[in-house]
Amino acid sequence: MRSDIIKKGVETLPHRALFMSAGVKKEDLEAGKPFIGVANSYNNIVPGHILLNDLTNEVIRGIEDGGGIPLVWGVPAVCDGQAMYVEMRLSLPSREHIADNIEIMTLSHSMDGWVGVTNCDKITPGMLMAAGRLDLPSIILTGGPMKTHICEDGKKHHPIEGFGIVGQVKAGKISEDEANKMLPCLACGAGSCVGLYTANTMACVTETLGMSLTKCATTLALDPEKKKQAYETGKKIVELVKQDIKPSQIMTKESFENAIRVDMTMGGSTNAVLHIPAIARELGIDIDVTMFDKIAQETPNICKIIPAGTYEMADLDKAGGIPAVLNRIKKMLNDNLTVNDGSIKEIATEAKVLDDDIIRPLDNPYFEQGGIAVLKGNIANSSVIKQTAVEKEMMVHSGPAKVFTSEPDLLRAIEKKQITEGDVIVLNFMGPAGAPGMPEMLTPTDAIKGAGYKKVALITDGRFSGGTSGPCVGHVEMEAYNKGPIAAIKDGDIIEIDIPNRKLNVNLTDEEIKQRLKEIQPPKRKTTPLLEAYRNKFIGKNCYGK
């Protein structure tokens, strides 16, 4: 084991003294017990993370009972919902920071394996990136979804509804006082947000990859079963260390294809298109954006979970969770090893679907294709849209551009009723280099929806929250800051969006675009040293780092 260098030999006698000063027992060192790291992303800021200390305590108990030495440290966690619009440019960069954090702590302290205790948007992919990078035995425990709040009106409510309420206020549909009175109903307590947003999408991806225990993704944060999963996760990591089962044996190209297929069949967040290739790259595996589109065209969408539908993660859990989804598509799956006792196909075969509407049969899908489409044209080498959350009449749309370079400017335009039905809003200079940091655009997309617009589309070189629905195209490449064609668009240019035919174009010639780009100057924005460093990583590259 890696930790043997600490536990044996006179050269590391002072090292042992320091570990013992932190509480490690001499007899455990002498017994040769493995060092098991626990990367705990608890804080009392983020709803998805406020319960993680309780889960970490159970993980510790499981490690000790399994015969390991638990070594715990803290990992940062940004809530995209709290940071959005205010300052969320640091959210995506935090993913790399988390992977670096885990690399630093595990290697510096000679750990034999580790557990990632996580829940929200960038923390889970950051931990999976670390797992791939380090290739030490590891397992991920996701903290579980929250449940919707049933208020006095008998209706279910949740925090992400608040973004639509902003649009209602901006459009003059309700007053600010009326909006504030709705606030208590939007608070749901502990857990990741109720729908198939990025946090829960990545939890589902983690389970499908084989990196978390069965049913971990959908078991609610406050379900007593979650603490049992935490304890079993602690015991399991010791087994994985003793068997020397590494992430590279689990997260193969075939298992990434499975994860994309499950994401497509469920209609998950477009952020998965950023995260899955980043995780795969740490293992030396190339996942291109076109793979998402290829798999989407082969795979029907059989789940309709918030924001694409009305079902919440609690409903999916009752219907059988990820194992039940796997059961539906088992003939389409590759087989691969998991951290569980069974392979992914064994888990799929043993599972049962307990509700045929929450997880529909393949011959009765909600949508004939998977959740995400990749659009190309003279605006974009590639761009992504959650097609299963777009109304039928907006699958093909053409309209005049209204161009903005900031979210506040767009919200002011909604407030002043400067947006009209048929418009295509262009929100540019929002990419990894342009913002910098590629912030999410849920505030403007839900403001458009909340204001009542039915035939307004939006395209951006930024990204979207998993909560976004409607004709919203993101990840436009190349981004405006890197002289991508999206920077050349002006008010009034006609933009054509054709989702079935995967097209995104503006009625300009190549020469017109080229001439306009010569005049483009990026907006000046206040940055930080971290954001400047992040910008420099993406100058001349696309949002996937290529």
User: Between the CA atoms of 479, 485, 491 and 496, what dihedral angle is there, to the nearest 10 degrees?
Assistant: -100
Tell me whether residue 18 is in a domain: no
Domain boundary pick from 289, 320, 350: 350
Tell me whether residue 435 is in a domain: yes
Q: Quick one: 405 and 493 in the same domain? A: yes
- Per DSSP bridges, beta strands 396-404 and 494-498 are antiparallel
Could you tell me the sign of the dihedral formed by the alpha carbons of 340, 342, 345, 347, in that order?
A: negative
Q: Quick one: 383 and 305 in the same domain? A: no
Tell me whether residue 181 is in a domain: no
Instruction: Give CA–CA dist 124/269, Å, rounded.
Output: 14
17-53 pLDDT, tens digit each: 999 999 999 999 999 999 999 999 999 999 999 999 9
Over 80: is that where the pLDDT of 469 sits?
Answer: no
188-239 pLDDT, tens digit each: 889 999 999 999 999 999 999 999 999 999 999 999 999 999 999 999 999 9
Amino acid at 120: C
Least confident of 140-149, 158-167, 256-265, 370-379: 158-167
Tell me whether residue 153 is in a domain: no
Q: How many domains does the chain have?
A: 2
Q: Quick one: 377 and 328 in the same domain? A: no
Q: Quick one: 298 and 408 in the same domain? A: no
Span 430-454, average pLDDT? 89
Per-residue tokens: 350: 């043993």
Task: State residue 447's pLDDT score.
Answer: 82
Q: Quick one: 229 and 260 in the same domain? A: yes
Task: State residue 148's pLDDT score.
Answer: 85
238-259 pLDDT, tens digit each: 999 999 999 999 999 999 999 9
Tell me whether residue 121 is in a domain: yes
Q: Quick one: 407 and 486 in the same domain? A: yes
The rounded mean pLDDT for the chain is 95
Q: Quick one: 381 and 315 in the same domain? A: no
Q: Quick one: 279 and 420 in the same domain? A: no
Q: Which residues of 510-545 are buried (b: 16+ CB within 10 A; e: fewer)?
A: eeebeebeeeeeeeeeeeeeebeebbeebeeebbbe
Q: Quick one: 343 and 412 in the same domain? A: no
Residues marked as catalytic: 465
List the domain range (segments joined by +) for residue 494. Answer: 372-538
Tell me whether residue 12 is in a domain: no
Domain boundary pick from 317, 350, 383: 350
Domain boundary pick from 320, 350, 380: 350
Span 264-281, average pLDDT? 96
Q: How far is CA 360 from CA 206, 303, 311, 324, 344, in A?
A: 22, 7, 13, 10, 20
User: Between the CA atoms of 282, 285, 286 and 292, what dihedral angle is there, to the nearest 10 degrees?
Assistant: -100
Instruction: Give CA–CA dist 177/180, Å, rounded.
Output: 5
Q: Quick one: 116 and 262 in the same domain? A: yes
Per-residue tokens: 188: 């749901």
Tell me whether residue 128 is in a domain: yes
158-192 pLDDT, tens digit each: 887 877 788 788 888 889 998 898 888 888 889 99
Tell me whether residue 50 is in a domain: yes
Q: Quick one: 132 and 63 in the same domain? A: yes
Over 80: is that where the pLDDT of 465 sits?
Answer: no
Could you tell me the sign of the dihedral formed by the alpha carbons of 440, 444, 445, 446, in that order?
A: positive
> Of 295, 360, 291, which Cα lies nearest the Cα of 325?
360
The strand pairing partners of 72, in sequence order, are 38
Longest alpha-carbon distance in the chain? 76
Check which CATH number belongs to the domain holding 500 and give it. Answer: 3.50.30.80
Q: Quick one: 277 and 405 in the same domain? A: no
Do 154 and 185 touch, CB atoms closer than 8 A?
no
